[in-house]
Amino acid sequence: MSKAKSIHRTEKAKQDNDPAPASGSRRAPGGELHQVAGGRHPVLTTNQGLTFSDNQNSLRANPRGPTLLEDFILREKITHFDHERIPERIVHARATGVHGFFELTASLKQFTTARVLTEIGVKTPVFTRISTVAGGAGSVDTPRDVRGFAVKFYTQEGNWDLVGNNVPVFFIQDAIKFPDLIHAVKMEPDRGFPQSATAHDTFWDFISLTPESMHMVMWIMSDRTLPRSLRMIEGFGVHSFRLVNAAGESTFVKFHWRPKLGLQSTIWDETVKISGADQDFHRRDMFDAIAAGNFPEWEFAVQLFTQEQADKFPFDHLDATKLIPEELVPLKVIGRMVLDRWPNNFFAETEQVAYCPSHVVPGIDFSNDPLLQGRLFSYLDTQLSRLGSPNFHQIPVNAPQCPFANHQRDGHMQMTQPAGRVAYEPNSLSDNSPRETPKGFHSAAVMETGEKGRIRAEAFADHYSQARQFYLSQTVHEQAHIASALVFELSKVEHPHIREAMVGHLIHIEKDLAKRVATGLGLDKMPDAAVAATPVKKMAPSPALQIIGKMKDTLMGRAVGILIADGSDGAAIRKIKKAATDAGASVKIVAPKVGGAKLADGTMLAADGQLAGTPSVLFDAVAVILSEKGAQALSMEGAAIDFVRDAFGHLKAIAVDQGGQALLKTANVGHDAGVVDATDSKAFIAAAKTRQWDRERSIRTLA
């Protein structure tokens, strides 16, 4: 077995004393504490007192085989975890849900019998829920966090739930570790904070002892977890699935969603200020876009590959901490999703919708990915707990939009009235009761052999190669953001040994990154590198992993704010507004008073937002159109000073007239290519389509 081994470290003060048993736990038989690396600890047991030897791996038919239902330790651990919150979701509690449709544009009939993937032009209804992971339902929209990306397809053959994230990899390789991961990232149980944040000891302690998480660490510390809008994120099915065709042949597949508007993220300081200005920033953005008829759209793409191809990959595709670079297996676009209808009632739909990866249709099947195998059990169990009934499929948002029938009866919240004498199959007493059909779901005919055991495949042992590839694939600006994010997060960690351990992992990813983080943390010397289970491979950079390099040259879906006051030039305002609107942006007028401002020609212009409550962090670019008197008045207003300072500090384009120039001077805001004359609307639009990345090094210290 080739598995990275971790050493549990404890504070010196705690090594001198026997740790007391946790509340509700017992010591090992005889009251003894067993010696474990790094100290003496109670023996880990099930809730029935059974000691077990492996808390890292599920029971599988063979090292790369399916997880076995007989794994009672896995089922006990996940069942307890699934039922820890009532009724709020333990993870993905904070969400935005929208109705829409999926339309197939290229058939996969060669690979699958699933009609949703073979019938071109058919519009399949969907309900899509995009969520944060760590925070509760009352947390803010914009923390540094993964976004869940779940789509329920109401197909003609039943519901298909594609339950993924906006990141293509995950923290762990085996579902048995999911409760540990979430317990580590959630609020620390003795103090109830921090909410929806990873910058604390328990999370980084777990991560420092879990080398398989290093690839995911690069993603969560990148700008991918600071999205500008939910309309500007990618989605991934994460796992390898199987497609099964009419001949029973199977092909592996990975699913991708790509936003029509392209990718865009915020930067950390901006994100923090957005959360204070508008806790519902992402939800409101989605609502406003749909209300305006600017329906968000994603391309649906697949990566298709055979077992023979997979055998040649320099990684194991069944490992959820790995991705398949697009340069290795290109994406094939086969459809599109459009979200066009807001729910009538948030609770009835967005809150009560129930997704399960086990919900598939004929022609789609599962791989032996051990994280996926655990999810197939866990999600159904969670819905039973959260919604309180095995009849949750009768809630309208969960109900199939095709005929469905079976012999399941009764149960809490049964809302139909099954008729007849027969509630079983086979039977001879009813000529119209449901029967199985040869055209129904078939699992892929895959032979499994080997010795069952709690062991991971040798191919799962490489924890650093793809993490290194991801980091080296980023632009220099994005690399700086990753390093700075690590410094920020680890600076919040109280225990020095955790910070040092993380730097030890970073050495394997990129020595320069490790040095930057170590310097930012003020370490006196570089720690030793972590023990690597296998040598780190040199993989070619993948530009597809960037955000900056993939941003689209457009203002579609973006927002521009125009700051005005009494005496502002109406013609200049109209010119900037028209240019931004023509480029596809939405425009809001911001004034000191909610009633608006009296322009130089004596007319009143209504405001869309009052200055103190509409800061520049809510916009992608700003214009400042002021008279001399207006600039003088706003020079005494802190909100106006912050408006222009933040816009400059967040690398945004700023259009200014003479009065606007005066306000910038008062605010001590500099000039560069992104600060343009308001009369040159063409230059402003060009600058507004991106951030002024070269400005960043001059205004803030980055790792």
* pTM for the model: 0.90
Contacts of 12 (CB under 8 A, 6+ apart): none
264: confidence class by pLDDT, cuts 50, 70, 90: very high
483: confidence class by pLDDT, cuts 50, 70, 90: very high
Contact between 224 and 167 under an 8 Å Cβ cutoff? The reply is yes
Chain-centroid distance of CA 33 in Å reads 40
90: confidence class by pLDDT, cuts 50, 70, 90: confident
pLDDT score at 6: 35
**Rounded to whole angstroms, how far apart are CA atoms 417 and 410?**
9
Residue 5 reports pLDDT greater than 80:
no
138: confidence class by pLDDT, cuts 50, 70, 90: very high
pLDDT score at 504: 98
Q: Residue 477 catalytic?
A: no
Catalytic annotation, pick one of 92, 239, 317, 477: 92
Catalytic annotation, pick one of 57, 159, 165, 368: 165
42: confidence class by pLDDT, cuts 50, 70, 90: confident
Model confidence over 25-37: pLDDT tens digits? 333 333 444 455 5
Contacts of 258 (CB under 8 A, 6+ apart): 234, 298, 299, 301, 331, 333
**DSSP string for residues in 71-82:** -HHHHHHHHHHH
Residue 692 reports pLDDT greater than 70:
yes
Instruction: Map tokens 């530009």 to a residue.
Output: 543
Coil, strand or helix at 640 = helix
- Mean pLDDT throughout 361-373? 96
Contact between 194 and 187 under an 8 Å Cβ cutoff? The reply is yes
- Mean pLDDT throughout 192-209? 97
- Mean pLDDT throughout 364-374? 97
**Rounded to whole angstroms, how far apart are CA atoms 370 and 381?**
17
Contacts of 686 (CB under 8 A, 6+ apart): none
**Rounded to whole angstroms, how far apart are CA atoms 317 and 252?**
10
334: confidence class by pLDDT, cuts 50, 70, 90: very high
**Rounded to whole angstroms, how far apart are CA atoms 244 and 292?**
41
70: confidence class by pLDDT, cuts 50, 70, 90: confident
50: confidence class by pLDDT, cuts 50, 70, 90: confident
- Please count the other Cβ atoms lying within 10 Å of the Cβ belonging to residue 40: 14
- The dihedrals phi and psi of 260, each to the nearest 5 degrees, come to -65, -30
pLDDT score at 81: 85
Q: Which of 266-280, 383-397, 475-489, 655-669 has the lowest mean pLDDT?
A: 383-397
**Rounded to whole angstroms, how far apart are CA atoms 481 and 469?**
16
Residue 611 reports pLDDT greater than 90:
yes
**Rounded to whole angstroms, how far apart are CA atoms 215 and 301?**
23
- Mean pLDDT throughout 446-460? 94
pLDDT score at 588: 98
- The dihedrals phi and psi of 104, each to the nearest 5 degrees, come to -80, 135
Contact between 646 and 614 under an 8 Å Cβ cutoff? The reply is no
610 beta partners: 591
Write down how long the chain is: 703
- Return the higher-pLDDT residue of 292 and 32: 292
Coil, strand or helix at 623 = strand
Tokens of 117: 């993937």
Chain-centroid distance of CA 378 in Å reads 19
Q: Which of 142-146, 218-222, 246-250, 427-431 has the lowest mean pLDDT?
A: 427-431
Tokens of 675: 């600060």
Query: Rounded to 5 degrees, what angle do the CA atoms 219, 220, 224 make?
Result: 70
Instruction: Map tokens 């001198």 to a residue.
Output: 16
Contact between 361 and 160 under an 8 Å Cβ cutoff? The reply is yes
Domains of the chain (ranges, CATH numbers): 1-53 (no CATH), 72-394 (2.40.180.10), 555-699 (3.40.50.880)
- Work out whether strand 158-165 and strand 123-132 pair parallel, antiparallel, or are unpaired: unpaired
Q: Residue 165 catalytic?
A: yes
DSSP annotation of 188: B
Residue 471 reports pLDDT greater than 80:
yes
DSSP annotation of 563: E
540: confidence class by pLDDT, cuts 50, 70, 90: very high
Query: SS3 sequence, 147-168?
Result: EEEEEEEEEECEEEEEEEECCC
Q: Which of 413-417, 455-459, 641-645, 686-690 has the lowest mean pLDDT?
A: 413-417
pLDDT score at 438: 86
Contact between 262 and 223 under an 8 Å Cβ cutoff? The reply is no
- Mean pLDDT throughout 310-326? 98
**DSSP string for residues in 52-93:** -S-SS---BSSTTSPBPTT-HHHHHHHHHHHTSSSSS-SSS-
39: confidence class by pLDDT, cuts 50, 70, 90: low
Q: Which of 78-92, 284-298, 598-612 has the lowest mean pLDDT?
A: 78-92
